[in-house]
Amino acid sequence: MNRKTYIFLLLIISVGTGAIFAQGKGGIDNDMLQKIKTAYKNTPSDKAIRNALNAGGIQKLAVNANQSDVIDGYFSDRVYSRGITDQKSSGRCWLFTGLNVFRAKIIDKYKLSEFEFSVNYNFFYDQLEKANLFLQGVIDTRQKPMTDQMVEWLFKNPLSDGGQFTGISDIIGKYGVVPKEVMNETFSSNNTSQMASLLKLKLREFGLQLRELPVQADNKEIQKKKTEMLGTIYRMLALNLGEPPTQFTWTRRDADGNPVETKQYTPKSFYDEYVGKDLTNGYVMLMNDPTREYYKLYEIDYDRHMYDGYNWKYINLPVEEIKAMAIASIKDSTAMYFSCDVIKFLNRDKGTLDLDNYDYESLMGTTFGMNKKQRIQSFASGSSHAMTLVAVDLDDSGNPKKWLLENSWGATNGYKGHLIMTDRWFDEYMFRLVLEKKYVPEKILEILNQTPVRLPAWDPMFAPEE
């Protein structure tokens, strides 16, 4: 390199570096750093807190000592159910929750001592349908560049074990249901991450292969190629989850375990006999999202479980109106699909969701003042977990004091496998509720006739519940 070239390069580097720092008149200079440091006084109180934090976690130290250790497990109105399910290390809360809604009805109607649906059975077809959704999405967009936002979203999200209620209505409506003992859990159904990693890797590979097909390729040939790819996915699922049954024999037993009836079923005939509901048209999803206009119908584009299934739609409502419908459903002994931001102020040991569980403000010496709308806008909160809403405790005036959620984290987790949620926590961290239309006032149902506001699949508010 000659001397002139060297000097020229130095000038470019100097100008570039100067430009970077010139942009940053908002950087932290030494004078600003000294002022920032004055916020920490290193008082005896600061030292004590720092020592405690070094020895234990924030949440442990923030436990509110004013909270009673006595758990109030009384509820004025409750849906009858028995037994707690366990999703183990998987993101299938949405599927457990939906099936638990129907499970409660079956246990009550037939007075069973216990009963569970096979989550593994429906999960198998959920994964197969999502694989097809991805591959067909790639086919539909294969002439768009890889930098297109929809194409990027597809390849970032080829498959997930999470989901929401339209997955319940579409998958169960198409494939039916079976009792748990007919297709039991496996290691991979309980621990989905390794299987999911391989499935996503294979799907991305297949996706690129589909995009590399000639532009003029015949659709028949493309579909044949996709079918072969789905055969590979089916085999991977069967190896990990087992192959779903097409027919089975099941004995219904009474509360004492005595056999009542033995019949042969298909998954669809079992669904017709024991669930028998129009899941697509018989239910409505309600949302409380203060960042968007209330009394409007919204639709999430492409974010569904089946290519030929339904995008999920919801009515956005004030939280008090949602509560009134939830109370009506519980009073009629009907559980509901409920989703929320479960981690916020959760005391796992007690099994409570309470804004007073932790006093972070006193520990950190500052306030955390955002409301629900601001938390959503700043990506600080969103729905992350689905559970079954089964009870409410009303005061003498009929106002809710607390609610009970049947969880799918096992019988030893929380309060006897449940979470007790205060009404104030409901206001702040509840997001979605799905209930039968008969509990929804006619003026709210009329909103379903609106042309929905379409929102993109990548809107962070609509990540799958896990």
Q: In this predicted model, what pLDDT tens digit does every residue of 143-200 receive, in sequence order?
A: 999 999 999 999 999 999 999 999 999 999 999 999 999 999 999 999 999 999 999 9
Q: Which residue has the tokens 């750093």?
A: 33
Q: List, in order of start, the domains of the chain with CATH numbers.
A: 104-274 (3.90.70.10), 279-462 (3.90.70.10)
Q: Which amino acid is at 280?
A: T
Q: Which residues of the chain have pLDDT under 70?
A: 1-24
Measured CA angle at 128 (ends 268, 211), to 5 deg: 145
First CA to last CA distance, the chain: 58
Which of 84, 192, 103 has the alpha carbon at shortest distance from 409?
Answer: 84
Residue type, 152: E
Cα–Cα distance measured from residue 283 to residue 291, given in angstroms and rounded to the nearest whole number: 24
Which residue numbers are catalytic? 93, 385, 407
Sort strands 346-347 and 259-265 into parallel, antiparallel or unpaired. unpaired
| pLDDT at position 1 | 52
The continuous run of DSSP H or E covering 247 comes out as: none
Q: Is 155 exposed, middle or buried (0-12, 13-18, 19+ CB in 10 A)?
A: middle
223: its two tokens: 């579909």
Are 288 and 435 within 8 A, CB to CB?
no
Longest dimension (CA), the chain: 97
Position 22 scores a pLDDT of 47
Whole-number percent of the chain with pLDDT over 70? 95
CA distance 402 to 421: 6
Q: Distances in Å between the alpha carbon of 444 and those of 277, 291, 312, 316?
A: 21, 19, 17, 10
Residue 70 is predicted with a pLDDT of 81
Half-sphere exposure of 424 (CA within 13 A, CB side): 7
> Which residue's structure tokens are 């297709």?
183
278-305: burial string, b at 16+ Cβ within 10 Å, e else: ebeeebbbbbbbbeeeeeebbebebbbb
Query: Count H helices, E strands: the chain?
Result: 18, 14
